[in-house]
Amino acid sequence: MKYFGTDGFRGVANEGLNVDHAFKIGRFVGWYYGARQNRRARVVIGKDTRRSSYMFEAALISGLVASGADAHTLHVIPTPGVSYEVIHDNFDCGIMITASHNPYTDNGIKLVNKAGFKMDEEVLEQIEDYIDGKIEVPLATGDNIGRTVDYMQGRNRYIASLIASCDFSLQGIKIGLDCANGAAGSVAKPVFDALGAETHVIAKSPNGLNINVGCGSTHIETLQSYVVANGLDLGFAYDGDADRCLAVDEKGGLIDGDLILYLCGSYLNKHGRLAKSTVVPTVMSNFGLFRAFDELGIDYVKTDVGDKNVSACMRENGFNLGGEQSGHVIFGDFAATGDGILTSLRIMEVYRSERQPLSELVRPVSLYPQQLVNVRVTDKDAAMGAPEIAAAVKAAEDYLAGDGRVLVRASGTEPLVRVLAEAPTDEQCEAANKFVLDALEPYKE
């Protein structure tokens, strides 16, 4: 696609993504779900805290109402909150304004379909054609012009749904929350407070420019230090739009998405709640996770990188748990998409039930050292299809003798081939990667 990637239309605000794009997206969506079908569309909009989100919100609303749709504004809310409201208040679609974990200078527009999932590609293709002037969309007139509805009650209902997903108390537990100066700040603390936790919050004062700056899941070291310094039981760090969560144990140790999958997958399986005894990680998940699942007799189906791929696999096969190392975890029994705050609550369910420190609960997993090397090439397709590269991968895996792996994949957006080795030691990683890196030499830029 020209504009929409795996996670929406992203770019530097008013450079790669500008207000004209936002206005046209609103115009098309309002017409497509409304006037095109001789009805009035209902669309719900949320945003994160970056300064440009307000500008894009105004442009989207203008486009929607100009096409005859009613725009319901949730204001600042996590991305999964938009998905929740689309499903539970029967909206035609949802729009989230965010660039997730990216710097404040970036922004993005994510579209959610009626089922709460990422928008269908055929609709996105039509939006791109409209942006490029290949499709015409009429303006609404008279009483067909849409309206803007302040929809704060939607955010309150989303908060209530998170609280209602828990049948346990967090009384007496000291929890740290890093809200990344982003969308989690309006939701996470009220949820944990309502459940009785002693809640300590950092990065909770957004000013439009400080989202993800030295905080959140991309700077987990801030929360790690905070948990240890304040003697907390554990902590959770979210990204800018709070669809991801990383955890920190009582010792300041990182609990990444792989360990979260283990923690929750093993717990659900133990209680007969893991659908088909299967978890859906991506090919980038750590080899140590797969070994730990093998020991428990838990199956796993690996997908390509991207929560969109994880979600599709889960839906197609009836699985209810999947996610990425980055902390984007999907609990299919509770939500249609990854939800960082929901993830932290599911971790707390395990913590309360097992009554052990987080560090003990993940102790069975021995994560392997990883070495990732990005190689810039002249033709990534030629490199990926070369028999000598396949032979080098086999030689590397023969060297590892089943105790590790080498993964080679092309970047989706850049002329890069990514080479990842996992092995019991850093030295073995380096040695395994060398087989492939040497074979890639003739293809280097």
In this prediction, residue 413 carries a pLDDT of: 65
Is the per-residue pLDDT at 317 higher than 70?
Answer: yes
Average pLDDT of the residues in 240-249: 97
Say which of 100, 165, 186, 326 is annotated catalytic: 100
In this prediction, residue 185 carries a pLDDT of: 94
In this prediction, residue 410 carries a pLDDT of: 86
Could you tell me what percent of the chain has a pLDDT over 70? 100
Q: Which pLDDT tens digit goes with each residue over 157-198? A: 999 999 999 999 999 999 999 999 999 999 999 999 999 999
Q: Which pLDDT tens digit goes with each residue over 398-422? A: 999 988 989 998 876 678 899 999 9
pLDDT band at residue 275, thresholds of 50, 70 and 90? very high
Q: Which pLDDT tens digit goes with each residue over 344-361? A: 999 999 999 999 999 999
Average pLDDT, the chain: 95
Is the per-residue pLDDT at 224 higher than 90?
Answer: yes
Q: Which pLDDT tens digit goes with each residue over 14-71? A: 999 999 999 999 999 999 999 999 999 999 999 999 999 999 999 999 999 999 999 9
- CB 393: neighbour CB atoms within 10 A? 19
In this prediction, residue 54 carries a pLDDT of: 97
pLDDT band at residue 309, thresholds of 50, 70 and 90? very high
Q: Which pLDDT tens digit goes with each residue over 326-345? A: 999 999 999 999 999 999 99
In this prediction, residue 423 carries a pLDDT of: 92
Is the per-residue pLDDT at 323 higher than 70?
Answer: yes
In this prediction, residue 138 carries a pLDDT of: 95
100 part of the active site: yes
In this prediction, residue 305 carries a pLDDT of: 85
Q: Which pLDDT tens digit goes with each residue over 103-162? A: 999 999 999 999 999 999 999 999 999 999 999 999 999 999 999 999 999 999 999 999
In this prediction, residue 6 carries a pLDDT of: 78
Average pLDDT of the residues in 225-238: 98
